[in-house]
Amino acid sequence: MATPTPLPAFIAKVLAWLPVTFAVWYFASPLLLWPVRWLLEALVQAGLRDLVRDVAQNQAVFVFATTLHPGEALAATGNITVEVNGLLYAFGMPLFAALTLAAAAQRRARVLAIGYAVLLPVVAWGVLADFLKNVAITSGPLVASQTGFSALQREIIAFTFQFGSLILPTVIPAIAWVMTHRRFLERLREPAQPAAA
């Protein structure tokens, strides 16, 4: 008689950890996403100073204060602000945490810290791409024309948004987990051993 494979037990543990990690992630999101604001400010300063005056954070929402006007630049008063919910791009954090905690590997705190650090740029990518999509594509022609983006640049922004919202938040946590749990995965792949009589 073969001993049971550890995979079903691991899956059960992941499912048990998911509600816990998602609850912690949701309520701690203002703190967990604070470094994303710092990354966004650095990116804005590096390449979008003409478009963005400031990036603020309200809970898990990032608020971009732009130089754009709601109508024709000469006739309109005030500037547009764009809000982007960071949680839309950060759900890989609780997924990675649940997988890590279920694996019960040594140095879990270190592995969780590595995963968190790897996922911060993913969240920043998604939030920034969402902002750019809003001002360059979905805001309407009066606002989009003020950005100065060409048709090709708008296509690149659309691709970047799709990649940052559909691919990166799910694939990067999985890759990071596999890279930090290779020994655990090797144990999962071992064939079931016959039980002693």
Q: Are 180 and 115 a contacting pair, CB within 8 Å?
A: yes
Q: How high is the pLDDT of residue 193? A: 54
Residue spans of the chain under pLDDT 50? 1-3, 73, 195, 197
- Cα dihedral 90, 93, 99, 101 sign: negative
What per-residue confidence (pLDDT) applies to 197?
45
Q: What is the pLDDT of residue 1?
A: 39
User: Which of 90, 100, 99, 94 is closest to 130 using CA atoms?
Assistant: 90
Please tell me the pTM assigned to this model. Answer: 0.85
State the burial class of residue 163 (Cβ atoms within 10 Å of its Cβ: 0-12, 13-18, 19+): middle
Q: How many other CB atoms sit within 10 Å of the CB of residue 22?
A: 16
Neighbour tally for 88: CB within 10 Å: 15
